[in-house]
Chains A and B, each alone.
Chain A
Amino acid sequence: MPEAILKVFRGEKDSGTFETYKVPIEEGMVVLDAIHYIQQNNDPSLAVRWNCKAAKCGSCSAEVNGRPALLCKSRMDKFEPGQEITVQPIKTFPHLKDLVTDVSWNYEVNKKITPFTPAPDANWTFYQEDIERVQEFRKCIECFLCQDVCHVLRDHNRKDAFYGPRFMVRMASLEMHPLDTANRLKSIKEDAGIGMCNITKCCTEVCPEDIHITDNAIIPMKERVVDEFYDPIGKFLKSIFAGK
């Protein structure tokens, strides 16, 4: 039976070693299966967070050969036989143990966003074309891979100035909702720090739900922010035509 060579980070709180394991490859296997094999056959104390093994719960985020990915969506057959597969915890969030990190910062950020605010007398009938853009954003499984890869959080560690792509998606889903009445543009610019994003699209590249984070959420939000804060001519013309 062919064998895969896995180099897995083992340790706590940012300090540890890379351990090499040999794992027999079976048809249809994913990296999470290989990690489970190691738990069952080599070391039951190997820590990994997972739930669904179906790429739907967003728990098993890690970095496979340096690429942020869901362990349960990373097929073993995409690697050459004998190629070393390096598995690391995600980099952007505090390391706890082995492949597990503390992603709770994201839940704190989430609380800061003005929630869905429909008018009290809203007419709840709306059409597919009104909701299609928002539906794409609702696919998010909160794996935080986009947060992990975003260089603003990952390399610059500007968690004080930028909410990150996952929350740009959430804010876009609220701002574009046909029944929402809140205006979050000032908060998107100032608190969420949309200007920190330089649209280099790594979030889009790693999103396992194939959400076009940059093109469909961040750039449209940047354009709305321009309407409000950087386009005096457009604002002036609009005020004339709106008779304001």
Chain B
Amino acid sequence: MNETTAATHPHTGMTTRNDSWWLAPGLVAVGFGIFVIYATFRAFENNFYEIGPIISPFYSPKLPTPSWFPFSAAFLILWMPAGFRATCYYYRKAYYRAYFMSPPACGVKVWGSQGYCGERSFPFVLQNLHRYFFYLAVLVLGILWYDVFIAMFSEGLNISVVSLIMLANCILLSGYTFGCHANRHIVGGGMNKFSDAPGKFKLWEFVTHLNEHHMGWAWCSLFSVGFTDFYIRQVAAGVFSNPTLIPFH
């Protein structure tokens, strides 16, 4: 035996961890932050969201806004996917750790330990409404798939760079949306005897496979939806071009 410390409690300070535990919540905080700032800017910009029949996912479907409505049409749409993501079980984990530090990482002390109620009282009890946002997100996703169809087929077959970006975005959004925990419950997770319903069991297994990579789908689709809007914005503003790869009229 060499050294002895002064008398102490076995657990003092924020943590004994000596690895880079702050890196993951830090990256999450920065990643979300960038997306939220960009999406807010675009929702207020109210411009450069259409190229002929093509429309940005932030503004689709283009709803008419009454004259007294002070904001862009994007605000009539964005609350649905925003609510879906804000109540998503993965994002909850990510932002409770990154923004609320509750806890910032495992074995690291929470920030402010008074009055913690988890998801039992307002506002966090509203997280229980996630499945309603899932239904709305499926609706919005259907519209985005329709937009891909319009982008590719409205003027004969017209496979352009933008239409392919929109297609990739819809694939990623579908992987994210249908891998949702609420969906996993709805398609069969609530059952106790799968052998009674083999079809439901297969569906549940499929959703479970998607769900196992829910975090990956969440980040990829967040990036893709932002990038799709960004590309459409730049084309609409005349900064980027939108070359047609397979024209057929």
Taking CB atoms, residues of chain A closer than 8 Å to B10 are 9, 11, 14, 16, 88-89, 91, 95
Cβ A219 vs Cβ B120 within 8 A: no
Cα distance, A21 to B2, chains bound together (Å): 6
Taking CB atoms, residues of chain B closer than 8 Å to A126 are 193, 195
Choose one: A158, A215, A231; the contact of B131 (CB below 8 Å): A231
Would you call A105 an interface residue if the criterion is a C-beta within 8 Å of the partner chain's C-beta atoms? no
Taking CB atoms, residues of chain B closer than 8 Å to A129 are 194-195, 201
Cβ A65 vs Cβ B16 within 8 A: yes
* Given contact pairs A63-B16, A129-B194, A193-B120, A17 touches B107 in the complex (Cβ within 8 A): no
Taking CB atoms, residues of chain B closer than 8 Å to A89 are 10
Taking CB atoms, residues of chain B closer than 8 Å to A205 are 106
State the main secondary structure of chain B at its contact with A: loop
Contact bitstring B102-144, A, C-beta under 8 A = 1, else 0:
1100111110010011111000110011111000000000000
Choose one: A67, A149, A155, A177; the contact of B113 (CB below 8 Å): A155
Chain A residues bordering chain B, tally (CB within 8 A): 65
Cβ A152 vs Cβ B118 within 8 A: yes
Contact bitstring B11-44, A, C-beta under 8 A = 1, else 0:
1000111110000000000000000000000000
Would you call A200 an interface residue if the criterion is a C-beta within 8 Å of the partner chain's C-beta atoms? yes
Cα distance, A95 to B11, chains bound together (Å): 11
Cβ A66 vs Cβ B190 within 8 A: no
Cβ A151 vs Cβ B124 within 8 A: no
Would you call A19 an interface residue if the criterion is a C-beta within 8 Å of the partner chain's C-beta atoms? yes
For A15, A129, A196, which residue has the most chain B Cβ atoms within 10 angstroms? A129
Cα distance, A11 to B7, chains bound together (Å): 9
Cβ B107 vs Cβ A68 within 8 A: yes
For A175, A193, A199, A206, which residue has the most chain B Cβ atoms within 10 angstroms? A199
For B5, B185, B192, which residue has the most chain A Cβ atoms within 10 angstroms? B192
* Given contact pairs A176-B192, A197-B119, A215-B211, A206 touches B4 in the complex (Cβ within 8 A): no
Cβ A196 vs Cβ B117 within 8 A: yes
Using CB atoms, name the residue of chain A closest to B126. A230
Would you call B239 an interface residue if the criterion is a C-beta within 8 Å of the partner chain's C-beta atoms? no
Cβ B110 vs Cβ A223 within 8 A: no
Choose one: B8, B107, B190, B195; the contact of A130 (CB below 8 Å): B195
Cβ B93 vs Cβ A230 within 8 A: no
Using CB atoms, name the residue of chain A closest to B109. A155
Taking CB atoms, residues of chain A closer than 8 Å to B113 are 155-156
Choose one: B4, B130, B131, B182; the contact of A17 (CB below 8 Å): B4
Taking CB atoms, residues of chain A closer than 8 Å to B93 are 198-201, 214
Which of A's residues lie within 8 Å of B, judged by CB? 9, 11, 14-22, 42-43, 63, 65-68, 86, 88-89, 91, 95, 126-127, 129-130, 149, 151-152, 155-156, 158, 162, 175-178, 180, 193, 195-202, 205-206, 214-215, 219-220, 222-227, 229-231, 233-234
A sample of 29 cross-chain residue pairs with beta-carbon separation below 8 angstroms, ordered by A number, consists of A9-B10, A11-B7, A14-B9, A18-B4, A19-B3, A20-B1, A22-B2, A63-B107, A65-B18, A65-B19, A66-B108, A67-B17, A68-B107, A88-B11, A127-B195, A130-B194, A130-B195, A151-B103, A151-B110, A152-B116, A175-B192, A176-B192, A196-B116, A197-B119, A198-B118, A215-B212, A223-B181, A224-B185, A229-B128
A14-B9, A129-B194, A219-B181 given; name 19 further pairs at CB < 8 Å: A17-B7, A17-B8, A20-B4, A21-B1, A65-B17, A66-B107, A68-B106, A130-B194, A149-B106, A151-B102, A178-B193, A197-B119, A198-B96, A198-B119, A200-B93, A200-B96, A200-B103, A220-B181, A234-B131
Which of B's residues lie within 8 Å of A, judged by CB? 1-11, 15-19, 89, 92-93, 96-97, 102-103, 106-110, 113, 116-120, 124-125, 128-132, 181-182, 184-185, 189-190, 192-195, 201, 211-212
